[in-house]
Structures are given as C-alpha cells and as structure tokens.
Amino acid sequence: MEDGTQAAGGAKPSRIQLRNRKRILDAALDVFSMHGFRGATLDQIAEASGLSKPNILYYFAGKQEIHVTLLSGLMDTWLDPMREIDPDGEPLEEILRYVHRKLEMSRTLPRESRLFANEILQGAPRIGAGLVTDLKPLVDETAALIETWAAEGRLKPVDGRHLIFSIWATTQHYADFDAQVQALMDGRDTHDEAVVFLDALYRRMLAI
Amino acid sequence: MEDGTQAAGGAKPSRIQLRNRKRILDAALDVFSMHGFRGATLDQIAEASGLSKPNILYYFAGKQEIHVTLLSGLMDTWLDPMREIDPDGEPLEEILRYVHRKLEMSRTLPRESRLFANEILQGAPRIGAGLVTDLKPLVDETAALIETWAAEGRLKPVDGRHLIFSIWATTQHYADFDAQVQALMDGRDTHDEAVVFLDALYRRMLAI
DNA sequence: CCACTTTTTTACCAAATGGTAAAACCACGA
DNA sequence: TCGTGGTTTTACCATTTGGTAAAAAAGTGG
C-alpha cells in the first residue's frame, strides 16, 4: 500500500529510481538555470532528460517539487566554502581562500549559480524561509568572526556582512552574467584573470 | 492609410498614446523585472497598467516588443554614469564617483537593475547584439582610460575590465539580490552602509 | 514460468497564454 | 451635429502548459 515512489518516500529507492531522478534533476538544472522557474517547462525538462513528461511526474509530484529539490539539495554545496573558513587560521589567508573557492564554484558550477540567482532575483518565493534558517546563522557567525579579526588588528576595519556580499557579488558575477562578460572580453581567459584581480582586490582591502 | 499607431510609427503620437504607452511600460517594468520575460504574462501587465489586454496590443505589437522597448530605452540611462567619468579628472575621485552613482541607481532604480539582470542571466537573448554595439565600445574605452591612469602611476595597477565588472557586481547586488540582502540584514540601512563599505573597498584597492 | 510490482507509454484534459477580428465607443474639427 | 479617425471593448482562437487516468510493458523474486 505504501507508495514510496513519489514524494520523499521512506523506502529504499531502486537503481532505476536513483538513475532517473538524477537524470531529471540534471536536465531540470539546465532548464531552470537558463529560464527561471516560470520560464521553464516540463516539456523542456522531459526532452533534456530523455524521459516522457508523465514519466517525470512519476518521479516528482510536480514542477515545483523538482525545483525545490534542486534548490535545497544544492544549498549545502553552496555554503560549504563558507563553513570551511577556519577561525583559527590566518585571517587574510582564510578569506582569500574563501574567495578562490567561490570563484572556482562559479567556474565549475555555473548552472547552480544561475539557479540561485534566478530564484533570488525573483524574490526567493520558493526558498525564502531557507534563507533565514540555513543561510542567516552561518552569515551572522562568519561576519562576527571577520569583525573579531578586524577588532584584533589582524585585518583592516571592515563590515563583515558587506564584505561577504561583495565576495558573493564579485565571484558569482562571472557565472551569473557570463553572457555579458563574454560579450565584453574577446576570448580572454576570464576566470584566470579574475583570480588575480580578486586576490588583489581583497588583499588590498584587508591586509594590515 | 499609414498606421503610425503601432510599431515605431513616424507620426507624432497623441497625448493619449503618450500616456498609455508610459502606463504600459511602467507596468511592464514591474512585471518583467519580477518574473523575467518568459515568466511575465500580458494579463499581469494588463492588470498592473489598468488597460485591457487587447488594448495593450493596440499600442505594442506584442509582448516581445514591450520588453525590447524597455531594454533599449533604459540602456542609455544605465550607461550614463560611465559616460560621465571625466578623463581629465582626478582618477580615484572619478572612479569613486562612478561607484556612488551606480549604487545610487541600485537604490532608486531597482526594477531597471533587475530587468537587465534577468535578461543577462538568461543569456541576453533579446539584447545580445546591443551589448556588443552599445556597451562594448564604452567599456573598452573606460577600461583603457583606467589602465592609462594606472600606467601613469595615478592608481595602483589594475585590470580595467575586471574593475568595472566588480563595480557592477557589488553595486547592482543590492538591487538584484535584495531579497537575500534583506533576509540577512535585520532592518539595517543597507544602502547607507554600502556607500561606506564600497568607498573603502575601492579606495584601498586603487589609492596609491 | 508465474504472479506481482515497478516503470513507461498513450491518450487525454482544463486552464492559461499570446494574440486577433470586429464591433462599439469616443473625441473633435468642419 | 455629423462624420471621421483614433481608441477601447467584446468575443473569440490556437497553442502551450502542468497535470492525470489507465493501460501496456518491463522487471523481479519465487
């Protein structure tokens, strides 16, 4: 009687389930990250995943569930670099390492970056709550850590939250606004240059 | 026989035309900036503008024409602050003034910022050409100017294009990702703090 | 090979959406 | 006041879209 197939059933998922859910999520990441939630269609996801539309709805209860599954599944990966900032490390090096990791994620996971960007741009209607419960505590903590470092004279004085915003903005820019970046950089290696630029930016901003 | 009403007719538009086209564009800016092109509907624009859907299509040939009209009409406003950088001014002050103006636009024109962000995020399918023809020459010129200043020893060494990207990213972040910013800043005055932070960031980055 | 479950396909549907035709309405100068 | 041209409404469409029902087709353990 138990279903277990759809929703977040408790039973162990079969090999087929695992494979097809992964296919669907990967296709959906393509489509959602390109067109946003409302602009994406189940038909596009179906085509991109190689499954039929009803078959997709056999694995997920609806379009929205696919989207939410993607977002919440990605949240952890997305926040990992910030979690790895070591309070006992050398402040400037810790922050520069964070910048480099975020930039690297922009290069390797541009679809994920755009997925989040689309969601936030449109007011975060589907993960608004998650921002406060998952993101805020971590940001509060990290901002406090940065400001402690600054108060100890190990960094130049800085507002922790705005520093974090600026790191997000500058690193994710290369993924989110790639269309613009590409139009303006005639074939130059954007990311390699960005590493150098952002390293200098935050070093000059923060080094005592 | 001449139409003159729809499309970009040559005849002088009547008062009613002027008023209603303005209403439509304002409503469309609300809707497009919130949902992106594909996520926006003519019915939403109709409701927001107080006109009926067919009436909207009397003034604009279609949904896409409204969108393109908005984008190209805004392009000039959007690029103005960069045009106002004075090659004969004091380099650091010119750049900081540019940062402040961009930030001010983020505060006063958040819908416009999100409209562009949505378009670029989704690959700039409707203004891709405009990026190269309108934006690129100006960016090339400004980047060259900045690097000339740096070469003259009036700024620290810096890649002009990446500096511009970072200014766009950090300033527009407060408009484009407002949902996130608001979720993380408990009622603090984001923009006033941002002025201080970004002033310090670019001063430390560029001051000799 | 058989019964039983999981997976996939086929055939639909109702609502939403961009858009059109044409009639009705309205402003305003002759 | 009447006609004429610009404006708005009413009544529609064809397509697209998210989603469903149910039958067909694999798997799968015994």
CB atoms within 10 A of CB A33: 25
> Per the CB < 8 Å rule, is B183 touching A132?
yes
Return the sign of the alpha-carbon dihedral for residues B145, B147, B152, B156: positive
> What is the predicted pLDDT for the residue at A127?
87
Residue type, B32: F
Measuring from the CA of residue A16 to each C1', which nucleotide is nearest? C7
Sketch the domain layout of chain B as residue ranges. Answer: 15-61, 70-206
Burial (CB count <10 Å: 0-12, 13-18, 19+), residue B113: buried
Q: Strand D closer than 7 Å to the CB of A12?
A: no
Spatial separation of the C-alpha atoms in residues B164 and B139, rounded to whole Å: 8
Residue type, B56: I
Domain B70-206 in this protein, CATH class: mainly alpha
> What is the predicted pLDDT for the residue at A8?
37
What pTM was estimated for this model as a whole? Answer: 0.92
What angle in degrees, to the nearest 10, is found between the helix axes of A110-121 and A15-39? 50
What's the whole-number mean pLDDT along residues B171-183? 97
Residues in A closer than 8 angstroms to B183, CB to CB, are 124, 128, 131-132, 135-136
List the A63 CA – C16 C1' distance (angstroms): 16
Residue type, B59: Y
> What is the predicted pLDDT for the residue at B12?
62
DSSP 8-state class, residue B12: P
Whether residue B142 contacts residue A184, with contact meaning beta carbons closer than 8 Å, is answered with no
Q: What angle (nearest 5°) sits at the alpha carbon of residue A101, between those of residues B203 and B36? A: 80
Burial (CB count <10 Å: 0-12, 13-18, 19+), residue B69: middle
> Looking at the domain that runs over A71-206, which CATH code has it been given?
1.10.357.10
> What is the predicted pLDDT for the residue at A129?
84
Left if phi > 0, otherwise alpha if psi is -120 to 50, otherwise beta: which for A6? beta
Reported as a pLDDT band with limits 50, 70 and 90, residue B9 is very low
Best CA proximity match to A98, nearest among A132, A138, A130: A138
> What is the predicted pLDDT for the residue at A11?
56
Fold of A15-61: Arc Repressor Mutant, subunit A (1.10.10)
Residue B2 has pLDDT above 70, yes or no: no
> Per the CB < 8 Å rule, is A183 touching B158?
no
Structure-token match 């910030």, residue found = A82
> What is the predicted pLDDT for the residue at B84?
97
> Per the CB < 8 Å rule, is A179 touching B34?
no
H helices within chain B, ranges in order? Answer: 15-39, 42-49, 53-59, 63-83, 91-108, 110-121, 128-130, 136-151, 160-176, 178-184, 190-206
Whole-number average pLDDT of chain B? 92
> What is the predicted pLDDT for the residue at B118?
95
Residue B158 has pLDDT above 60, yes or no: yes
> What is the predicted pLDDT for the residue at B47?
94
> What is the predicted pLDDT for the residue at A3?
37
Q: Which of residues 25-84 of B touch strand D (CB under 7 A)?
A: 51-55, 58
Reported as a pLDDT band with limits 50, 70 and 90, residue B1 is very low
Spatial separation of the C-alpha atoms in residues B64 and B126, rounded to whole Å: 8
Residues counted in chain A:
208
Whether residue A12 contacts residue B15, with contact meaning beta carbons closer than 8 Å, is answered with no
- Which residues touch B41 (CB under 8 Å, ≥6 apart)? B31
> What is the predicted pLDDT for the residue at B4?
35
Burial (CB count <10 Å: 0-12, 13-18, 19+), residue A75: middle
Residues in A closer than 8 angstroms to B192, CB to CB, are none
Kindly report the bases of strand C lying within 7 A of a protein C-beta atom: 6-11, 16-22
CB-nearest to A121 from B37, B162, B176 is B176
Closest Cα in chain A, distance from residue B124 (Å): 6
Spatial separation of the C-alpha atoms in residues A86 and A127, rounded to whole Å: 28
Residue B19 has pLDDT above 80, yes or no: yes
Q: Mind listing the pLDDT tens digit of every residue in chain A (208 residues)?
A: 333 333 334 456 777 788 999 999 999 999 999 999 999 999 999 999 999 999 999 999 999 999 999 999 999 999 999 999 999 999 999 999 999 999 999 999 999 999 999 999 999 998 888 888 989 999 999 999 999 999 999 999 999 999 999 999 999 999 999 999 999 998 899 999 999 999 999 999 999 8
Tell me the CA distances in angstroms from A74 to A18, A29, A120, A143, B154, one per residue in order: 17, 10, 14, 22, 44
Q: Count A/B contacts: CB-CB distance under 8 Å.
A: 162
What's the whole-number mean pLDDT along residues B121-134? 88
What angle in degrees, to the nearest 10, is found between the helix axes of A160-176 and A110-121? 120
